[in-house]
């Protein structure tokens, strides 16, 4: 049993972190967020490095790596809040690759893998999705309905209305496509991987929020001592670590099952998203609180993490929805063992 | 990342599982008294011992199997899964033996290790005192040299199994002139002397797992000092570090079994379709899985990097909190049965209150996490 990353995976993590520390500095993220536009220069660079195709099969122009590698990049991008459409595009690619027909894969995957085409994935009711993360930048959109059916469509075939979400590091749109697009053969097959991706991004957001908080409460003094010495503060930081580690362990497990034990992916992905959605909200809220008045100001960058966490927490369903899913899976397992 | 067992580990698990299936312990005694329970656990340990399963993690030279930490964790998972009792001398096997292996003299190892393994001599742990709980180094029990012996006077508390024990791992103050951590010495005290009085402490479940010890001029031979005079704090830390290492895996499995039982009860009552219960049970499932993953991650990190890290505090915290939530939810699902004396859910409900106190209170665990994992400063409290 081994929870560690391979040398190659560690190398991907290290180079991603170094690149983003350099290219997605807080001031640069803020600048793009304030003008509500993606960082096209950084996106081009990531595309040249092959990031969008990391988990896409080589036959479709990707790097053919696994879900663990995908989750590593998502986590690093979550830490940095880089204003690029990586997550929505990678989620769309996963759903098309694992649930699409050969023609659909042929049509969309090579350009999603190269980054020429930007994708997005949203949940819809009767063809309407009120908020698709990344939807305003996307050329290809996948809409998943509650019943598990999914359709892939070009943005030209849909009514895409850009929205100003509270998280301007990424675009958003209302998408209406009642009669257009093509059905995917299996709308659910790639969904587990998409859930791993967003859960991993949330883990990265939590890590960064906790790091910023710990640094701040060590520095900030009141009554002559660092506020982090008070247990009211330090115990909340401990709670933030617990939430983060709970999310990290379940996300890592889900990433591993995707390629090694796919029969458990649906359950593992629901656990990961339920944990990560809760952790994202709790940890970033704790970060604002521990920063005190400063944490409530625009200048302190901690609010961008809170905003990203809010959007990610409900993306592809929030914690309650995934716990309902889990309860159904547990009931099925119980039924199966009763009849076995 | 590879979350599967190696072929050797699987073989180890299958051998143990096979043995446990073929050798079930005696059924629980009908009268259910504590003495009868203890006799059953002692008999059970003797059978484990005869089959070489009493302490697989001990090196072969001391009668163990030299099992790896992973195999040892598998051992405790299987013990939990088979719903067999813990060995009578669990404290000796998990704490006393490993502490002697690190700090004991060759004579001490030869004299004390074999009867720990065979359950001939039961061990207990005399650390906590009425005024030294979380602040262990504040302990006041004193030991004074008198010829070849030490003379000990003081009081200990929360001493599990003291009434059955031959030896007590005792930490006492041998020098009150130096800083409080420095004046301590670790002894093995013979419990069979009149100077040591054991008084059971009845706990909120009604049973008495632990005791108070009243020590009035008890004598300990100088040969029973472990790790040298004045070195007691370091030796005690070795004992404490072993405290949760293995047992945690059995407790984690027991939590899983309780949850499976509760899910089945909820299903029988049609409550699995009720969104409120479904949500609460699913959250417990996520927590159980997370505990399992974090426990295994901690273990494999230890195998790779050496000593267990302070991250183990997270697992203990999450486990104890989850067990309390689970047993509380059981009251809502099972109904009055869970509030009736003698029923298993009512026992679990009450016993779970101890989980966030024993083996490090949640408050102390949060301090450890804040200071040693996150590196936050410690608040200096003026005495």
Q: Which CATH number covers residue B249?
A: 1.20.140.10
Let me know whether A168 and A200 are in one domain: no
Residue B152 CA neighbour count, 13 Å, CB half: 37
Beta carbons of A76 and A15 less than 8 angstroms apart: no
Mean per-residue pLDDT of chain A: 96
Let me know whether A296 and A196 are in one domain: yes
Name, in order, each residue with C-beta under 8 angstroms of B173's C-beta and a sequence gap of 6 or more.
Answer: B139, B140, B141, B142, B143, B183, B184, B185
Let me know whether A145 and A202 are in one domain: no
Name, in order, each residue with C-beta under 8 angstroms of A336's C-beta and a sequence gap of 6 or more.
Answer: none
Let me know whether A143 and A58 are in one domain: yes
pLDDT tens across A200-252, in order? 999 999 999 999 999 999 999 999 999 999 999 999 999 999 999 999 999 99
Let me know whether A28 and A156 are in one domain: yes
Q: How many domains does chain A have?
A: 2
Let me know whether B252 and B200 are in one domain: no
- Measured between CA atoms, how close is A240 to chain B, in angstroms? 10
B375 vs A contacts (CB less than 8 Å): 214, 218
Which of A128, A163, A183 is the endpoint of a domain? A183
Let me know whether A170 and A215 are in one domain: no
Q: How far apart are CA B299 and CA B252, in angstroms?
A: 13
- Measured between CA atoms, how close is B293 to chain A, in angstroms? 6
Three-state DSSP state, A96: helix
Q: Helix H segments across chain A?
A: 7-23, 26-34, 40-48, 67-80, 86-99, 102-114, 191-219, 231-260, 265-290, 302-314, 319-339
Which of A138, A166, A183 is the endpoint of a domain? A183
Let me know whether A166 and A203 are in one domain: no
B5 vs A contacts (CB less than 8 Å): 1
Domain hosting residue B75, numbered range: 7-88
Tokens 């951590």 locate to: B181
Q: Which of B235, B258, B223 is nearest to B345 (CA)?
A: B258
The confidence score (pLDDT) of residue B382 equals 61
Residue A333 CA neighbour count, 13 Å, CB half: 14
The confidence score (pLDDT) of residue B21 equals 97
Tokens 């050496």 locate to: B306
Let me know whether B169 and B71 are in one domain: no
Q: Which of A112, A115, A120 is nearest to A173 (CA)?
A: A120
Q: What's the CATH number where A255 sits?
A: 1.20.140.10
In a domain, A299, yes or no: yes
Q: What's the CATH number where B36 sits?
A: 1.10.540.10
Output the tens digit of pLDDT for each of chain B's 383 residues: 999 999 999 999 999 999 999 999 988 887 778 889 899 999 999 999 999 999 999 999 999 999 998 999 999 999 988 989 999 999 999 999 999 999 999 999 999 999 999 999 999 999 999 999 888 899 999 999 999 999 999 999 999 999 999 999 999 999 999 988 999 999 999 999 999 999 999 999 998 888 999 999 999 999 999 999 999 999 999 888 876 667 788 889 999 999 999 999 999 999 999 999 999 999 999 999 999 999 999 888 888 877 666 778 999 999 999 999 999 999 999 999 999 998 999 999 999 999 999 988 999 999 999 999 999 999 877 65
Let me know whether B219 and B263 are in one domain: no
Let me know whether B184 and B303 are in one domain: no
In a domain, A132, yes or no: yes
In a domain, A2, yes or no: no
Query: DSSP state, B63?
Result: T
Q: How many domains does chain B have?
A: 3
Three-state DSSP state, A176: strand
In a domain, B110, yes or no: no
In a domain, A14, yes or no: yes
Q: How far apart are CA B289 and CA B295, in angstroms?
A: 10
Beta carbons of B169 and B126 less than 8 angstroms apart: yes
The confidence score (pLDDT) of residue A96 equals 98
- Measured between CA atoms, how close is A199 to chain B, in angstroms? 14
Tell me the two tokens of residue A309.
């966490």
Q: What's the CATH number where B137 sits?
A: 2.40.110.10
What average pLDDT score do residues A79-96 get? Answer: 98
The residues of B that are catalytic are: 243
CB atoms within 10 A of CB A133: 28
Tokens 């706990």 locate to: B203
What average pLDDT score do residues A178-199 get? Answer: 93
Which of B62, B88, B114 is the endpoint of a domain? B88
Among chain B residues, the shortest Cα distance to A4 is held by B1
Pairing of strands B123-126, A182-183: unpaired
Contact state of B293 with A253 under an 8 Å Cβ cutoff: yes
Contact state of B293 with A260 under an 8 Å Cβ cutoff: no
Torsion (CA) B323, B326, B327, B330 in degrees, nearest 10:
-170
- Considering only the beta carbons, identify the residue of A2, A253, A334 that sits closest to B2: A2
Let me know whether B273 and B332 are in one domain: yes
CA angle B42, B44, B46 (to 5 degrees): 75
B279 vs A contacts (CB less than 8 Å): 320, 323-324, 327
In a domain, B114, yes or no: no
Let me know whether A200 and A179 are in one domain: no
Which of B230, B257, B274 is the endpoint of a domain? B230
Let me know whether B33 and B129 are in one domain: no
* Element housing A122 (H / E): strand A119-124
Q: Which of B250, B161, B153 is nearest to B193 (CA)?
A: B153
Let me know whether B268 and B364 are in one domain: yes
Let me know whether A275 and A161 are in one domain: no
In a domain, A1, yes or no: no
- Measured between CA atoms, how close is B105 to chain A, in angstroms? 35
In this structure, what are the phi and psi dihedrals at residue B291, rounded to the nearest 5 degrees? -60, -45
Which of A122, A153, A183 is the endpoint of a domain? A183
Which of B207, B230, B253 is the endpoint of a domain? B230
DSSP per-residue string spanning B151-184: EEEEEEE--TTGGG-SEEEEEEES-SSS-TTTTE
Three-state DSSP state, B218: strand
In a domain, A39, yes or no: yes
Binding-face residues of A in 24-83 toward B, CB within 8 A: 68
Tell me the two tokens of residue B136.
């262990």
The confidence score (pLDDT) of residue A203 equals 98
| Least confident stretch, A38-47, A286-295, B24-33 | B24-33
Q: Long-range contacts made by residues A35-40, C-beta under 8 angstroms, separation at least 24? A: A36/A164, A36/A168, A36/A171, A37/A83, A38/A83, A38/A84, A38/A85, A38/A137, A38/A170, A38/A171, A39/A82, A39/A83, A39/A84
Q: How far apart are CA A70 and CA A53, in angstroms?
A: 9
Is A134's pLDDT higher than 60? yes
Q: Which of A154, A152, A160 is nearest to A176 (CA)?
A: A160
Q: How far apart are CA B8 and CA B315, in angstroms?
A: 27
How does B372-381 read in b/e, with b if 16+ C-beta sit within 10 Å?
Answer: ebbebbeeee
The confidence score (pLDDT) of residue A177 equals 92
DSSP per-residue string spanning A250-317: HHHHHHHHHHH-GGGHHHHHHHHHHHHHHHHHHHHHHHHHHTGGGGGSSSSTHHHHHHHHHHHHHTT-
Contact state of A334 with B267 under an 8 Å Cβ cutoff: yes
* Element housing B77 (H / E): helix B69-81
In a domain, B39, yes or no: yes
Let me know whether A153 and A210 are in one domain: no
The confidence score (pLDDT) of residue B379 equals 80
CA distances in angstroms from A144 to A108, A127, B144, B194, B379, listed in the order given:
17, 9, 76, 76, 52
In a domain, B162, yes or no: yes
Contact state of A237 with B374 under an 8 Å Cβ cutoff: yes
Beta carbons of B253 and B295 less than 8 angstroms apart: no
Q: How far apart are CA A167 and CA A161, in angstroms?
A: 16
In a domain, A274, yes or no: yes
Query: DSSP state, B217?
Result: E
| Least confident stretch, A142-156, A313-327, B146-160, B294-308 | B294-308
Q: How far apart are CA A251 and CA A187, in angstroms?
A: 21
What average pLDDT score do residues A58-80 get? Answer: 98
Query: DSSP state, B338?
Result: G
Let me know whether B33 and B133 are in one domain: no
Q: How far apart are CA B273 and CA B339, in angstroms?
A: 24
Q: How far apart are CA B18 and CA B21, in angstroms?
A: 5
Residue A235 near chain B (CB below 8 Å): yes
Let me know whether A169 and A216 are in one domain: no
The confidence score (pLDDT) of residue B302 equals 80
Q: How far apart are CA A315 and CA A51, in angstroms?
A: 21
CA distances in angstroms from B256 to A173, A278, B25, B263, B286, listed in the order given:
43, 22, 21, 10, 11
Let me know whether A177 and A232 are in one domain: no
Contact state of B278 with A327 under an 8 Å Cβ cutoff: yes
Domain hosting residue A255, numbered range: 191-339
Q: What's the CATH number where A29 sits?
A: 1.10.540.10
CB atoms within 10 A of CB A284: 29
Let me know whether B312 and B339 are in one domain: yes
């Amino acid at each position: 049993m081994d929870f560690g990353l391979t040398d190659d995976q560690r190398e991907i993590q290290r180079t991603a972190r170094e690149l983003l520390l350099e290219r997605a500095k807080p001031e640069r993220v803020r600048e793009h967020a304030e003008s509500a536009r993606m960082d096209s220069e950084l996106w081009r660079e990531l595309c040249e490095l092959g990031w969008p195709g990391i988990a896409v099969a080589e036959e479709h122009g990707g790097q053919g790596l696994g879900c663990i590698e995908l989750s590593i990049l998502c986590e690093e991008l979550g830490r940095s809040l880089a204003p690029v459409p990586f997550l929505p595009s990678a989620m769309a690619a996963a759903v098309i690759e694992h649930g699409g027909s050969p023609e659909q894969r042929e049509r969309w995957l090579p350009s999603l893998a190269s980054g020429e085409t930007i994708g997005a994935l949203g949940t819809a009711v009767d063809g309407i999705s009120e908020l698709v993360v990344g939807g305003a930048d996307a050329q290809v959109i996948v809409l998943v309905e509650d019943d598990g059916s999914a359709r892939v469509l070009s943005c030209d075939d849909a009514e895409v209305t850009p929205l100003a979400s509270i998280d301007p590091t990424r675009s958003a749109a209302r998408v209406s496509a009642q009669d257009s697009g093509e059905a995917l053969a299996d709308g659910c097959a790639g969904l587990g991987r998409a859930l791993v991706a967003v859960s991993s991004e949330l883990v990265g957001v939590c890590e960064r929020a906790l790091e910023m908080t710990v640094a701040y409460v060590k520095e900030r003094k009141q009554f002559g001592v660092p506020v982090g010495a008070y247990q009211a503060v330090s115990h909340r930081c401990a709670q933030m670590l617990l939430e983060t580690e709970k999310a990290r362990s379940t996300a890592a497990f889900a990433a591993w099952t995707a390629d090694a034990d796919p029969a458990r992916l649906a359950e593992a992905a629901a656990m990961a998203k339920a944990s990560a959605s809760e952790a994202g909200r709790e940890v970033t809220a704790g970060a604002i609180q521990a920063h005190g008045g400063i944490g409530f100001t625009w200048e302190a960058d901690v609010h961008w993490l809170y905003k990203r966490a809010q959007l990610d927490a409900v993306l592809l369903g929030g914690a309650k929805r995934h716990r309902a899913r889990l309860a159904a899976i547990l009931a099925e397992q119980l039924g199966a063992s009763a009849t076995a | 990342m590879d979350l599967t067992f190696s072929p050797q580990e699987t073989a180890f698990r299958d051998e143990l599982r096979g043995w446990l299936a073929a050798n079930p312990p005696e059924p629980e005694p009908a009268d259910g008294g504590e003495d009868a329970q203890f006799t059953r656990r002692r008999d059970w340990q003797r059978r484990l011992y005869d089959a070489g399963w009493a302490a697989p993690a001990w090196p072969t030279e001391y009668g163990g199997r030299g099992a790896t930490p992973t195999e040892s964790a598998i051992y405790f998972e299987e013990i939990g899964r088979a719903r067999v009792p813990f060995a009578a001398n669990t404290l000796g096997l998990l704490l006393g033996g490993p502490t002697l292996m690190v700090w004991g003299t060759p004579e001490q190892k030869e004299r004390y290790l074999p009867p720990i393994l065979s359950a001939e001599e039961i061990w207990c742990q005399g650390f906590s005192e009425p005024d030294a709980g979380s602040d262990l180094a504040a302990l006041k029990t004193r030991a004074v040299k008198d010829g070849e012996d030490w003379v000990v006077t003081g009081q200990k508390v929360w001493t599990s199994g003291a009434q059955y024990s031959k030896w007590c791992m005792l930490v006492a103050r041998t020098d009150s002139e130096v800083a409080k951590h420095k004046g301590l010495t670790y002894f093995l005290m013979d419990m069979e002397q009149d100077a040591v009085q054991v008084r059971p402490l009845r706990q909120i479940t009604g049973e008495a797992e632990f005791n108070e010890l009243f020590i009035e001029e008890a004598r300990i031979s100088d040969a029973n000092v472990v790790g040298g005079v004045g070195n007691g704090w370091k030796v005690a830390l070795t004992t404490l570090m072993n405290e949760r290492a293995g047992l945690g895996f059995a407790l984690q499995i027991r939590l899983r079994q309780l949850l499976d039982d509760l899910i089945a009860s909820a299903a029988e009552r049609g409550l699995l379709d009720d969104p409120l219960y479904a949500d609460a049970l699913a959250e417990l499932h996520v927590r159980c899985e997370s505990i399992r993953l974090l426990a295994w991650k901690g273990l494999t990190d230890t195998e790779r990097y050496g000593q267990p890290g302070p991250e183990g505090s997270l697992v203990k915290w999450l486990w104890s909190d989850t067990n309390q939530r689970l047993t509380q939810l059981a009251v809502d699902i099972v109904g009055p049965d869970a509030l009736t004396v003698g029923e298993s859910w009512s026992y679990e409900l009450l016993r779970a209150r101890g989980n966030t106190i024993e083996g490090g209170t949640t408050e102390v665990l949060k301090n450890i996490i804040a200071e040693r994992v996150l590196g936050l400063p410690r608040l200096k409290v003026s005495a």
